[in-house]
Amino acid sequence: MRGISRAVSAALTLLLPIAPAAAQAPGGSAAPAAAFGQGVYIYPRNGQSEQQLWSDRYACDAWSRTQSGFDPVHPDSGTAGAEAATRREQYRKAMTACLDAKGYSIAAQAGATPAPAEAAAPAAPAPQAYVRPANGAADLGYHALTGWISAGYSITYGSLKPTLNDGGNAQIGITWFPTPWLPVGLRIEGSYSRFSETLAADSQEATALGTTVDYGRQSLYGGDADVQLDLAHRSAGFKMYLFGGGGWYRNTTDFRQVQWSGPALVCGYYTCGYGYLPYEITVAHSTTPWIKSWNAGFGMEFALTRPSSFFIEARYVRLAPYAVNTAYVPISIGLRF
């Protein structure tokens, strides 16, 4: 794999050699630049880093090869000289259109000889890529390691539905993409969900305990290790992805009773008097061992001011034993940074 990557890099360097460090961006300011053909240079319009420049060049290379049928690793493979030259020119035009769409200016060096015009073959259409604004704000880009927080609404499902009402959830985690060339990453997250018991569950527990139960609640907390797969897309400011994996959770259940104390001195805004004050006591408490789980979900991410973004996710979470349909569906909105 590394050998192929070095070969592609070498071929791109022949087509797009790195410009000298003294190259100046239009307007006179120094900027990272890469030569594009003879006497033509690429200048980042939006302050892209050298790493981002190389990432965009590789992405445009893949798209341009598809458009032109030209392989820069084997430029003359299986084609006659004239056809190879035509495809090479189509490749250059596709690269120019792609890089322009990604926020790079293509400028000719003074005195450079322009490339011959290709009359026979029309220019390749520009990719439908998201064009980043001049301030470089809305662009997801590549980030090897990101953190995120989210919160939302959880829908009970299966055997949980008769005993628990829908509740809320919160998550915190990190996502790691080891390389920009593969759309596969690893997610590690911690999760907390809270549900209230239904009236039927409260009544059943009160009968079992032989006392009054006013309300009950369950807290589900734990963590997951998931694989994330980014889906193919043509926008730099939006993406969709799938994720799934397994984890471990614990479930804490409390049933409580409300009692009244008094008489006690109670003061209001204008006066004080004697009255009764409510307080709670726990009549039943239990915590399960760690329970295995699996989950699968879908998400959409939208770029904000770089490098932050927000996302919407929905997943299906099922708890062991898997023979019993103990599941819930958390839907959450979060911020990635």
Note the pLDDT of residue 8: 44
Note the pLDDT of residue 271: 84
Are 31 and 42 in contact by the 8 Å Cβ rule? The answer is no
Nearest C-alpha neighbor of 58 from the set 100, 103, 12: 12
- Mapping DSSP to helix (H, G, I), strand (E, B) and coil, where does residue 76 land? coil
Note the pLDDT of residue 75: 67
CA distances from 266 to 261, 262, 272, 274, 281 (A): 11, 10, 6, 6, 21
CA distances from 246 to 114, 227, 317 (A): 57, 10, 9
Tokens of 234: 């043509």
Note the pLDDT of residue 15: 46
Cis before 122? omega within 30: no
Residues of the chain below pLDDT 50: 1-36, 38, 110-137
Note the pLDDT of residue 35: 41
Note the pLDDT of residue 32: 39
Note the pLDDT of residue 138: 64
Structural domains of the chain, ranges and CATH numbers in brackets: 2-108 (no CATH), 145-336 (2.40.160.20)
